[in-house]
Amino acid sequence: MKNRWKPSVTVAAVVEKNGQFLLVEEHTPEGLRLNNPAGHLEPGESLPQACAREVLEETAHGFTPSALVGIYQTRLQHADTGAFTTYLRFAFCGTLGALQPGRALDDGIVRTLWMTPDEIRASTARHRSPLLLRCVEDYLAGQRAPLALVYTDPSALDEY
């Protein structure tokens, strides 16, 4: 039997405040890169739960998803190995909570920063993924779908 291909499922947060977007600067094999707060879906969590967890881990802020901005697919080549990975990203917008003082950021995250759309557009060479800008542009265009569109069967929330 042929091996089954499986994309890497990720979540991302599009957080806007006063015309600026919350990004993270992180160490990658390609060097320091910018990204939305984002990461991988883990066993036992829904997509919105994963997004809230990733924002907390990468920014030390709580996050409550309120809408789905979009579902995105891309294929990236890793500079360190040359291997390709296909990513399936679910991007959410929502409400940023308070900073949790003293909470350490995830390994590899250097800092959080706020950037305008023009600053994001001008820094594409530093983007970890082309999906960063696409998510921001879709958000700016008013693209939103209700969270009810993202259903998680209770069996997916079982402990592994």
Query: How far apart, in Å, are the Cα atoms of 51 and each of 81, 84, 119, 121?
Result: 27, 24, 24, 23
Domain with 53 in it: 8-146
Domain membership of residue 135 (yes or no) is yes
Domain membership of residue 3 (yes or no) is no
Q: Which of 74, 121, 71 is nearest to 92 (CA)?
A: 71
Summarised one tens digit per residue, pLDDT across range 72-129 is: 999 988 888 888 999 999 999 999 999 999 999 999 999 999 999 999 999 999 999 9
Domain membership of residue 58 (yes or no) is yes
Domain membership of residue 159 (yes or no) is no
CB neighbour burial string for 135-156, b if at least 16 within 10 angstroms, e if fewer: bbbbbeeebeeebeebeeeeee
- Give residues with Cβ within 8 angstroms of 144, minimum separation 6: 67, 68, 69, 93
Summarised one tens digit per residue, pLDDT across range 27-78 is: 998 899 999 999 999 999 999 999 999 999 999 999 999 999 999 999 988 8
Domain membership of residue 156 (yes or no) is no
pTM of structure: 0.94
Domain membership of residue 155 (yes or no) is no
What SS3 string covers 122-151? Answer: HCHHHECCCHHHHHHHHHHCCCCEEHHHCC
pLDDT at position 1:
61
